[in-house]
Each structure stands twice: as structure tokens, then as C-alpha cells.
Structure 1
């Protein structure tokens, strides 16, 4: 029976042939294979670097495009908000003017009713005036009569 140490020793010999046992042709082929492997590794490395560079460029372009679109959207929202503010301001101003005119008209109507209207209201052809005249009917006890 072989011992474990002897088996490992035999394996080691089988894996690492003695350089004296290898022909020059086998050495040349091994060197060529090694060179091809190195070339393939270098090409893979270069291709990876090239691909990474392209990915970085695409990512930078996408980032810039996203930033530009976001800025455009923000500008549009700002413009829309400003336009809405101006429109609301105009509506509120118009409503305020209408309310002011209505209040002034109501105040003028009350003043006219109680006889405190403006003097130039008499010159206004649209201003209706009513005159109340008292007449003495001669009944006793009526105001303005004498006994």
C-alpha cells in the first residue's frame, strides 16, 4: 500500500514535468499560448476600458439632458405661476372696483333719500328727484293750521 505522502509526491511529479523531459517544440508552443493569453487579456482590458468610457459618456449625456428638461419644466411652472398670479390679481382688482362702485352707489342712494345728496346731483339728468308738498286741508288739529 502507498502512503498518503507518496501519493502527493507522485501527483506533484505528474503536474510539474521536469524541464529536461519537455521538448523545445512543446516549450515554444507553451510560450505561444502564454503570449496569446496575455494578448487576449490585454484586448479584453482595452475593450472593457473603451466600453466603460462609452458608458460614462452616455451617462453624462443623459444627466445633462435630464438637468436641462428639469430646468425647462421649472421655468415653465414659474411662468405659469406668474401668469396665474397676474390673472388673479387682475380679477381681484376688477372685483374690488366693482364692490367699491356698488358701495358708493348705495351710499349715494341713501344720501339722496335723506336729503344729503350732492348739489351737482340736481344737474344730473339721470338723477330722479321727488318733491313732497304739504297742503292744508283745514282739519282741526292738523299740523300747520290755526284756530
Structure 2
């Protein structure tokens, strides 16, 4: 790790998906964060010594209430947050069990079709992750 890597905020998350209970279509879970009034994929910062995938699965459960089975690695996003570079590693993850309860960080979740999810996401960089999920699931 070069000395420049110490300044990078490390985070991880998942593009959480399930088969619709109504029509078996693909649904993507988005989280609404009242602090930022935005819609995004569940993600969060790594704890000291934590592996990225473990952090991603922990954040999904903390933010959505769902356990999930991780799948394909998705593209990493990089951007500047609060004047510092941030790197977020993502995985596709199928929701396996659980249920949402509003909390301090996330007040709502939405299970949406890929097209609706693309439209609802606040950040353009998050929209491409929906396409990456479809590609990983061989649905693109």
C-alpha cells in the first residue's frame, strides 16, 4: 500500500436483488438516506481490518435488514467525498432472508425493476451498477 492509499476512504456495498414475489421479475433494492435525501445502493465504510466483502454484507444487513448471498464482483466506483478520494467495492447479492425496519441511517427501501431503479438512483455512477448486475446475471 503506497502512502497515498491512506487518504482514500474505503467502502463497500452490494447491488441487492431478488425475484419479485408477484411476477418472478428481477427487483433491485435501493435505500433512501434521509441525511442526504438520496437513493442509493446499500454501502458503507470498512471498519479497521475488515475485508471489503464482509463490510458489504454487514452494511446490507444494517441498512436493509436483509441477509444476502454474495455473487459476482461488480465494478468499483471512485469519487471524491468531503474533499477526499473514496473507493467503493461492490458485489451482486441476492436477498435470502430478512425484512426492512426503518432506522437512523435509512428510512425507506424500494424494490424496483432495473429500469425503475436506474431512474430512482440519485448518482449517475450508481446507475451503471444496475447494468453491471444485469450483465453478471446474464440478463443484459
Higher relative contact order (CA 8 A, sep 6+): 2
| TM-score normalised by L of structure 1 | 0.15
- Computing the radius of gyration from Cα coordinates, the structure with the larger value is 1
**Which one has the bigger helix percentage?**
1
